[in-house]
Amino acid sequence: MTQTTLDLRHRYERIAPLYDLLDIPFEYGCYRRLRPLLFQGLSGRILDAGVGTGRNMPFYPPGSDVVGVDLSPAMLRHAEHRRTLSPASVKLMEMNVTRLEFPDASFDAAVATFLFCTLPDELQVSALRELERVVKPKGTIRLLEYTRPHRGIRRVVTKLWEPWVHWAYGASFDRRTEQHIPDAGLTLIGARFVVDDLIRLIEAKPRA
């Protein structure tokens, strides 16, 4: 495990006891209406990369088989308490998204919710490549990610919010995840803003 990965793990171990509390305004103000977008039309075996405290669980497709992975054991302990909210079968595993311990083409789809905005630039391509590797050739990869607004009050607010977000989550509004998709062997299917010019839903698939 690299020092960068260890730092990320330490950060989420530290914040795990407060994570859901800090997230309440965002979860009920915005995130809960966005999470279903990740799972529309998905079925079969699904990877939830960066499962965190399991906020996606109530929105898993009924009857699917979901594996949630996270770098932080403390976050996974919180996720464990949400398993009963899931209409899908759920397995939780401690794992590094840049080194997934799954065979090639072992998932029908993969999703990540605000994961890549927490990954430093040097880990972006390796994490995307791992998702490409473990998803079947006709599978789907969906990412819900923050971007930096370019206008109005949101741009000002994100500037003020940024130092705390970086300290707490290691997150940045300037990750270039969408631009890295071709370098990871993926084909971009679509990308659109789902909250003004702040949050973007990205869909890709393994390159044929």
- Kindly write down the DSSP assignment for every residue of 143-197, as one continuous string: EEEE----SHHHHHHHHHHHHHHHHHH---S---HHHHTGGGTEEEEEEEEEETT
**What pLDDT is stored for residue 82 in this prediction?**
96
Question: By the 8 A CB rule, do 88 and 62 touch?
Answer: yes
Q: Is 129 exposed, middle or buried (0-12, 13-18, 19+ CB in 10 A)?
A: middle
Dihedrals phi, psi of 140, to nearest 5 degrees: -130, 140
**What pLDDT is stored for residue 125 in this prediction?**
97
**What pLDDT is stored for residue 105 in this prediction?**
97
Q: What is the pLDDT along the chain (208 residues), one digit of tens a residue?
A: 788 888 889 999 999 999 999 889 989 999 999 999 999 999 999 999 999 999 999 999 999 999 999 999 999 999 999 999 999 999 999 999 999 999 999 999 999 999 999 999 999 999 999 999 999 999 999 999 999 887 777 676 777 667 767 777 778 888 999 999 999 999 999 999 999 899 999 999 998 7
Q: How far apart, in whole angstroms, are the C-alpha atoms of residue 165 and residue 152?
A: 20
CATH of domain 3-206: 3.40.50.150
Question: By the 8 A CB rule, do 57 and 27 touch?
Answer: no
Q: How far apart, in whole angstroms, are the C-alpha atoms of residue 36 and residue 60?
A: 8
Q: How far apart, in whole angstroms, are the C-alpha atoms of residue 38 and residue 45?
A: 14
Placement of tokens 């927490």 in the chain: 118
Residues 6+ apart with CB under 8 A from 144: 34, 35, 37, 38, 111, 112, 113, 114, 194, 199, 200, 201, 202
**What pLDDT is stored for residue 160 in this prediction?**
67
Alpha-carbon distance values, 199 to 56, 104, 174, 188, 193 (Å): 17, 30, 12, 17, 6
**Could you tell me how far CA 7 lies from the centroid of its own chain?**
18
**What pLDDT is stored for residue 164 in this prediction?**
67
Give the start-to-end residue ranges of the domains of the chain.
3-206
